[in-house]
Amino acid sequence: MSKQHKTNVMRLLEQHQIAYQPHEFTNKKAASELPIYKTLVTVAKSKEHYVFVVPVTHELDLKKAAKAVNEKSIEMIKEKELLPLTGYVHGGCSPIGMKRSFYTTFDQSIDNHTSILFSAGKVGFSVEIAVSDLEQLNQMIDMQKAEVAKEK
């Protein structure tokens, strides 16, 4: 990947010495066989925001997600709120490098893989990180693992 395509997410990973493999996707078919995860931002009744990282083949189970973060209920934020809140656009939201730090929950299914991919902070770009290295993300974000995804 050329220097011009290095994102802030990649720079943060390098700064914290977390190994990653960059990926660029021009179509969904090229990515369909990989363990790709999407980053979803929610808001609770308490007005607290939470981030969830789930497989792209699944959706967030709002009840399980609320329970995982000890809230009565949560809902997805509106798309127009995403950029001002996180600094990312829809389709390019990454769990790291947001404007503010939010409590982040990775779906437990990450344990079924040796590595996962998530957005590198720009539409069409992802980073692949070894699941064993995910614990190092605690240097950047407050995170946990829980069962929060459900089949579409």
Give per-residue pLDDT as tens, 71-126: 999 999 999 999 999 999 999 999 999 999 999 999 999 999 999 999 999 998 99
Whether 25 shows a pLDDT value over 90: the answer reads no
Tell me the CB-side half-sphere exposure of residue 105, using CA atoms within 13 A.
Answer: 22
Helices (H) and strands (E) in the chain, counts: 4, 10
Rounded CA separation 59/148 (Å):
9
The answer to whether 145 and 106 are in contact (CB under 8 A) is yes
More confident residue, 118 or 3: 118
pLDDT at 47: 96
How sure is the predictor about 131, in pLDDT bands with cuts at 50, 70 and 90?
very high
What is the average pLDDT across 54-79? 97
Say which range, 8-12, 18-22, 32-36, 106-110, has the weakest mean pLDDT. Answer: 32-36
Whether 19 shows a pLDDT value over 90: the answer reads yes
Rounded CA separation 57/150 (Å):
9
This prediction has a pTM of 0.92
How sure is the predictor about 1, in pLDDT bands with cuts at 50, 70 and 90?
very low
Which residue is it, tokens 């996180």? 86
CATH number of 3-151: 3.90.960.10
Whether 70 shows a pLDDT value over 90: the answer reads yes
pLDDT at 30: 54
pLDDT at 152: 86
Domain boundaries, the chain: 3-151
pLDDT at 28: 59
Judged by DSSP in three states, 39 sits in strand
